[in-house]
A and B are shown apart, each in its own frame.
Chain A
């Protein structure tokens, strides 16, 4: 089945860098479930919605020759998707730390039913907290011990369909 690959540490970029990369032609890939995206979404010209629950089946739709920035609610699911793409041989991929929570807290463009409120709480999802101050322990799941990135997602992609921020 799956051969083991020694993966390097995933590239992580902040929302500000993400905006710059988008300006340079990068594609934003939102791995939240569709119900979450309907509530609030990134308002950028080039965006693909590919829920984590569909990711394994659809990832090949993503271009290999273009910079990809993976995003989600807090940066946990998108980190998993980032590593998955790296496992599949993608080299031009990075995770946006902090997710749409951090993006919105910086006043960057969002749209959707909940976009009217400007506070981070409006886009904080199931955790109901403001955008995290640090990159660590931003997931509502048990944090991975020794993790030095915004990881800790313990849920399977199917579980993410329940609207959790995992």
Chain B
């Protein structure tokens, strides 16, 4: 599962990455987790509110840190 977290490095973006990493490890799901920090690359997904989360090329979340429940749902796919 390829996961990209879009954001220019603010606290919410870091929290999102940490949370996804933590839950993926807890569930034993193999993910490649990547930060997309350049504004031009972030906007390439049309995401105005960061953090954004892209899973296998699809934007699944934009704005604020996603909830634990939401992340678990993504990783249960």
Stretch at the interface among B22-30, B58-66, B68-76: B58-66
Instruction: Say yes or no: B10 contacts A154, CB within 8 Å.
Output: yes
Output the least CB separation between A89 and chain B (Å): 11
Number of A residues contacting the other chain (C-beta, 8 Å)?
34
How far is A7 from B46 in the complex, measured between Cα atoms in Å? Answer: 10
B50: Cβ under 8 A from any A Cβ: yes
- For chain A, what secondary structure do more than half of its interface residues adopt (helix, strand, loop), or is it mixed? loop
Output the least CB separation between B10 and chain A (Å): 3
Output the least CB separation between B19 and chain A (Å): 17
- For chain B, what secondary structure do more than half of its interface residues adopt (helix, strand, loop), or is it mixed? loop
Q: Which of A1, A87, A147 contacts B38 (CB 8 A)?
A: A147
A134: Cβ under 8 A from any B Cβ: no
Instruction: Say yes or no: A9 contacts B40, CB within 8 Å.
Output: yes
In the complex, which residues 7-64 of chain A have their Cβ closer than 8 Å to any Cβ of chain B?
Answer: 7, 9-10, 52, 55-56
How far is A156 from B63 in the complex, measured between Cα atoms in Å? Answer: 7
CB neighbours (8 Å) of A113 from chain B are none
How far is A6 from B43 in the complex, measured between Cα atoms in Å? Answer: 9
Q: Which of A9, A87, A141, A156 contacts B46 (CB 8 A)?
A: A87
Contact with B along A62-93 (1 / 0, CB 8 A): 00000000000000000110011011100000
Contact with A along B32-71 (1 / 0, CB 8 A): 0000011110011111111000100111100110000000
CB neighbours (8 Å) of B39 from chain A are 79-80, 83, 144, 147, 149, 151-153
A116: Cβ under 8 A from any B Cβ: no
Output the least CB separation between B46 and chain A (Å): 4
Query: Which B positions have Cβ atoms within 8 angstroms of A?
Result: 7-10, 12-13, 37-40, 43-50, 54, 57-60, 63-64
Query: Which A positions have Cβ atoms within 8 angstroms of B?
Result: 1-2, 4-7, 9-10, 52, 55-56, 79-80, 83-84, 86-88, 141-147, 149, 151-158
